[in-house]
Amino acid sequence: MSIKKIPFPYYKVKKGENLRIISEKFQIESTKILLDNNLSPKQIKEGVFIKIQK
């Protein structure tokens, strides 16, 4: 039996990252990130978990 790695759908925002950096990193539109997480751009701060779906 082999162990499959299950992708974790959440990403923890690191120090110095903002919405623009995260959207470029995962190549997802920033509006999709905001709508999926029901957040405003000001709420994306260090330590917040956001859902990343492609």
pTM of the model: 0.77
Can you tell me the distance from the alpha carbon of 1 to that of 28, in angstroms, rounded to the nearest whole number? 34
Residue 7 structure tokens: 């992708």
What pLDDT score does 1 carry? Answer: 62
What pLDDT score does 13 carry? Answer: 94
- What does the DSSP assignment read for 1-54? --PPPPPP-EEEPPTT--HHHHHHHHT--HHHHHHHHT--GGG--TT-EEE---
Q: What is the mean pLDDT of each run of 10 residues along the chain (54 residues)?
A: 75 94 94 94 93 85
Among residues 37, 38, 34, 32, the alpha carbon closest in space to that of 51 is found at 37
